[in-house]
């Protein structure tokens, strides 16, 4: 099988895109020839590079003056600045290249652009990362909060050969927006190989070393528990509720040290979200208990998660959240909101505590449960490590290829009949 792996942007040095590179590397073991297609706003013409054994095509996301005008016009209808360039780029690319299948990330904008690009586009194996089918207008998040996107999603779903949702939550959202239930399969995202402890290293030793590193780096009290919230600082990630959980934990006689780790974001409704969180901590008298560290390189994520006593993912709504599974991989029990996709896996494995969203007290009570009982904490930690093994790149790559081959096999008789009719 020859597959084109389509992403909005691609760089193997980026944390998020490394999961894709590992899938492609694993697919080689299944005799799947895979190339990557992505877009770049800095390009004037298409490029083709060879990166760590992977052919990577990049197309201009802006480019010429006519393309910029077309992008501006389409953006008046659809909330994306490069949609016209995507449509034009796909049309030209598939006039010169052929593949058996397109693994394409996002119903909107990428799959919609592919649908509009014409009949030369190969069958689409659509992955839903979540933002394309979610709607949280109160938190400035989700393309499905726009009427124009909701209108075209059923068209995209009908065109897709198969749809992969990364959690049961996203499967239900896709069905509610018009996807055929028998077409939507749940296969979660993988976590990178580097998210697991180094081969041969004792987990307890890794955790002790990581904790010492955090204490030294952030001048923490080694006697107090460390709680980490790690993600980009966007309102829908719900970090304000983690801040608001601290009084509940302190009322139980536990003095947590909360590290909020991630790059800052600004939105129309909240402005600078990092500044908003700092103000909220000050209002609650928690400035000495909550530290915003800023973003850290992916190479340091393992240390921050392994050095913590608990990892909190307080998202208002999120398709999956790899941070939940990355915390499990190093034995750190997560506290995760029910509206975060990964919570379904955590609940089934009893690998952490699942709480209601938008509630500081609920998160606080979960932290008291974890931090106040060492025996229970150890049981959660052991189950968390076991859970994470199911999300390895090798396992998810095999599941996806099985899905794609089955979908292509079911399509082939129809294609043969159509050819005979012609």
Q: Report the candidate in 7, 17, 62, 74 with the shortest Cα–Cα distance to residue 38.
A: 7
What's residue 13's pLDDT?
Answer: 56
Give the integer Cα–Cα distance in Å for 137 and 158.
26
Domains of the chain listed by start with CATH number: 2-190+393-421 (3.40.50.2000), 193-390 (3.40.50.2000)
What's residue 12's pLDDT?
Answer: 58
Question: pLDDT over 90 for what percent of the chain?
Answer: 84
What's residue 120's pLDDT?
Answer: 95
Give the residues across from 356 on adjacent strands. Answer: none
- Concatenating the DSSP letter of every residue in 189-220 gives PP--GGGSPPTT--HHHHHHHHHHHHHHHHT-
Give the integer Cα–Cα distance in Å for 325 and 305.
10
What's residue 398's pLDDT?
Answer: 97
Strand order from edge to edge, sheet including 101-105? 47-51, 54-60, 33-40, 2-6, 101-105, 124-128, 162-165, 184-186
With 0.85 as the threshold, say if the pTM is over it.
yes
Give a three-class secondary structure readout of 250-291.
Answer: HHCCCCCEEEEECCECEECCCEEHHHHHHHHHHHCCCCCCEE
Long-range contacts of 64-73 (CB under 8 A, 24+ apart): none
Other beta carbons less than 10 A from residue 171's beta carbon = 21
Residue stretches of the chain with pLDDT short of 50: 413-422
């Amino acid at each position: 099988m020859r597959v084109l792996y389509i992403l909005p942007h691609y760089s193997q040095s980026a944390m998020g895109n490394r999961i894709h590179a590992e899938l492609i590397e694993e697919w080689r073991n299944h005799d799947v020839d895979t190339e990557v297609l992505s877009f770049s706003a800095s390009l004037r013409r298409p490029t083709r590079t060879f990166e760590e054994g992977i052919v990577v095509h990049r197309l201009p996301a802006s480019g010429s003056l006519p393309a910029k005008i077309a992008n501006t016009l389409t953006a008046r209808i659809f909330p994306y600045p490069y949609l016209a360039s995507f449509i034009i780029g796909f049309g030209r690319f598939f006039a010169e290249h052929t593949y058996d299948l397109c693994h394409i990330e996002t119903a909107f904008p990428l799959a919609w652009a592919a649908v509009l690009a014409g009949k030369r586009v190969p069958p689409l194996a659509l992955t839903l990362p979540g933002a394309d089918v979610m709607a949280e207008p109160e938190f400035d998040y989700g393309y499905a909060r726009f009427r124009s996107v909701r209108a075209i999603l059923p068209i995209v779903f009908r065109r897709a050969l198969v749809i992969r949702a990364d959690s049961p939550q996203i499967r239900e959202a896709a069905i509610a927006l018009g996807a055929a239930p028998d077409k939507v399969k749940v296969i979660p995202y993988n976590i990178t190989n580097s998210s697991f402890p180094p081969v041969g290293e004792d987990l307890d030793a890794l955790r002790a070393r990581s904790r010492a590193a955090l204490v030294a780096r952030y001048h923490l009290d080694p006697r107090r528990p460390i709680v980490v919230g790690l993600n980009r600082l966007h309102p829908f990630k719900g970090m304000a509720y983690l801040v608001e959980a601290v009084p509940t934990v302190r009322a139980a006689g536990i003095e947590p040290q909360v590290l909020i780790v991630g790059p800052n974001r600004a939105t129309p409704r909240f402005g600078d979200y990092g500044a908003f969180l700092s103000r909220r901590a000050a209002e609650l008298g928690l400035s000495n208990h909550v530290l915003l560290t800023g973003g850290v390189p992916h190479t340091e994520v393992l240390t921050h998660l392994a050095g913590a006593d608990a990892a909190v993912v307080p998202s208002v709504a999120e398709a999956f959240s790899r941070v939940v599974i990355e915390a499990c991989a190093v034995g750190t029990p997560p506290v995760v909101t029910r509206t975060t996709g990964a919570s379904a896996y955590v609940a089934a494995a009893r690998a952490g505590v699942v709480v209601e969203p938008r509630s500081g007290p609920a998160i606080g009570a979960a932290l008291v449960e974890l931090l106040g009982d060492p025996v229970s904490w150890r049981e959660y930690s052991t189950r968390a490590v076991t859970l994470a093994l199911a999300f390895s790149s090798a396992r998810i790559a095999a599941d996806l290829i099985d899905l794609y081959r089955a979908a292509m096999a079911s399509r082939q008789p129809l294609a043969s009949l159509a050819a005979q009719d012609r």
